Chain A
């Protein structure tokens, strides 16, 4: 149970950020048949770790993420965040960032970031302060008054990350957050995310299709197989931090990426 690096003084209680997934299964019922989406998934994420889920399309990695967010309930097994189940979304424990920035187009950037606080009736001045801090953290100081349509794709996703972190949850779940961005923006955003993660010490669970992104970002990569999704490999990425662009062409990087690719090719 390590304390967070930049916990706000208002919330002095140390929070964990641990995730325990035990024997989780998910069955989708359709009128014609029952589809087993996840089978017997068990995973333990230690506080402060950066864990990436990869796997072929339809392996249920996003489904698993939605369960950790409390947006969907598993058919069997248990999921514990901070040692407690998550029967519904709880932004104090878990922040979520989606593939689409999902910003409300009628609100400004800072109003978007304040949204989760406004839902709980936090006073305007306190809200504004926290939103400013969060926007500053993601490198968008001074852009708070803009509407989403006045921001680039990468900036929108930054706002979305700021919104996911504004309540300072110990766990941040990210569902292919950079998939809709172009290659260059994607690289920059990866570095930005690592910087934010290093500064805040949050537990991050990150879903992606990109093996390069997976190895570049992660402490641990969890590889899942196609339907029914199960965990087929769990690698520790021992590359030193901070990660640099040069590592992409290194031997270690290539070996790790190959190992993941072999799993995915086999199961797809």
Chain B
């Protein structure tokens, strides 16, 4: 049996177990409501969940623009210039070790409990790995490729557009993957902490009234969001960098960063 088939079987059996175990009474409905009652709860209040999803998606979207756009820009600058790299990289790496969620209450003081504070928090949260990854991607570009381009008469801008950017794409994309995932985490977590809208807020509110089915309906939505995001990144990766299979250097650097980046959100 291929590993893909096996993976699918595992997912399907988990889904089946989610339905059967609570139904059979092995797990109390309070801890884990069955899949069907979870979906039913979500469906019955589709309007409420739809509105919450819209709020969350809006916040995620704006945060991603800031986190990914800003991260790539800052990473490109820091990665290509030695001086800022020496100054900034150690600081960024140290900040990375701090659980940024401790700053969230401060953000609500500055920006209120609406979307602005979530966007600010999630953007900063996703910005760091994207920036670090892009900087690493630029640094790991084989200088020999740039030299070869120069020997063929490439001008500075031609070297940038035709060599440095395509060579950096794989590492930048894996930075986006981590950064984007953290943006989703940042938005949902901040909604759960202090807010008045969004999926995180719904999960948190239904939890206080012990309505497990509605809590899990929210969890399902977040799950779907994360899976959709991951699929989108994979699609872009396939489109933009088929050459990854050939050069693993950049990929390795990205993996190192990814490993360092995964930290508990709260």
Q: Does A28 contact B (CB under 8 A)?
A: no
Instruction: Give the Cβ gap from A148 to chain B, nearest Cβ, in Å.
Output: 6
> Which B residues lie within 8 Å of A96 (CB)?
148, 151-152
Of A98-106, A244-252, A257-265, the one with at least 4 CB within 8 A of chain B:
A98-106
Interchain CA distance A105-B154 in the complex, whole Å:
17
A89 touches B152 (CB 8 A): yes
Q: Which of B144, B147, B241 contacts A106 (CB 8 A)?
A: B241
Interchain CA distance A71-B147 in the complex, whole Å:
8
> Which A residues lie within 8 Å of B91 (CB)?
none
> Which A residues lie within 8 Å of B148 (CB)?
96, 98, 102
Residues 115 to 157 of chain B near chain A (Cβ within 8 Å): 142, 144-145, 147-155
> Which A residues lie within 8 Å of B247 (CB)?
105, 149
> Which B residues lie within 8 Å of A69 (CB)?
151
1/0 per residue, CB under 8 A from B, across A157-169: the answer is 0000001000000
A147 touches B147 (CB 8 A): no
Of B4-12, B15-23, B158-166, B177-185, the one with at least 4 CB within 8 A of chain A:
B158-166
1/0 per residue, CB under 8 A from B, across A87-121: the answer is 01111000010101010111100000001101110
A90 touches B153 (CB 8 A): yes
A116 touches B153 (CB 8 A): yes
Q: Which of A104, A105, A120 contacts B153 (CB 8 A)?
A: A120
B153 touches A71 (CB 8 A): no
1/0 per residue, CB under 8 A from A, across B240-265: the answer is 01110111000000000000000000
Interchain CA distance A150-B246 in the complex, whole Å:
8
> Which B residues lie within 8 Å of A115 (CB)?
149, 152, 162
Interface size range on B against A? 20 to 34
Interchain CA distance A89-B153 in the complex, whole Å:
5
Given contacts A98-B144, A104-B145, A106-B241, contact A119 B153 (CB under 8 A): yes
Residues 108 to 158 of chain A near chain B (Cβ within 8 Å): 115-116, 118-120, 147-150
B158 touches A149 (CB 8 A): no
Interface size on A, residues (CB 8 A): 25
A119 touches B162 (CB 8 A): yes
> Which A residues lie within 8 Å of B243 (CB)?
105-107, 147-149
> Which B residues lie within 8 Å of A116 (CB)?
152-153
Instruction: Give the Cβ gap from B83 to chain A, nearest Cβ, in Å.
Output: 16
Instruction: Give the Cβ gap from A118 to chain B, nearest Cβ, in Å.
Output: 8
> Which A residues lie within 8 Å of B245 (CB)?
149
Interchain CA distance A12-B133 in the complex, whole Å:
50
1/0 per residue, CB under 8 A from A, across B163-179: the answer is 10011010000000000
Instruction: Give the Cβ gap from B215 to chain A, nearest Cβ, in Å.
Output: 46
Residues 72 to 92 of chain A near chain B (Cβ within 8 Å): 88-91
A104 touches B147 (CB 8 A): no
22 intermolecular pairs with C-beta atoms under 8 Å apart: A71-B150, A71-B151, A89-B151, A91-B151, A91-B152, A98-B144, A98-B147, A102-B142, A102-B144, A102-B148, A104-B166, A104-B167, A106-B166, A106-B169, A106-B242, A107-B243, A115-B162, A116-B152, A116-B153, A148-B246, A149-B246, A149-B247
A-B pairs with lowest CB-CB distance, top 10: A149-B246, A102-B148, A106-B243, A116-B152, A96-B151, A105-B246, A105-B243, A105-B247, A91-B153, A102-B144
Contacts A89-B151, A96-B148, A104-B163 given; 10 further ones with Cβ under 8 A? A71-B151, A102-B147, A104-B145, A105-B243, A105-B246, A106-B167, A106-B241, A106-B242, A119-B155, A147-B243
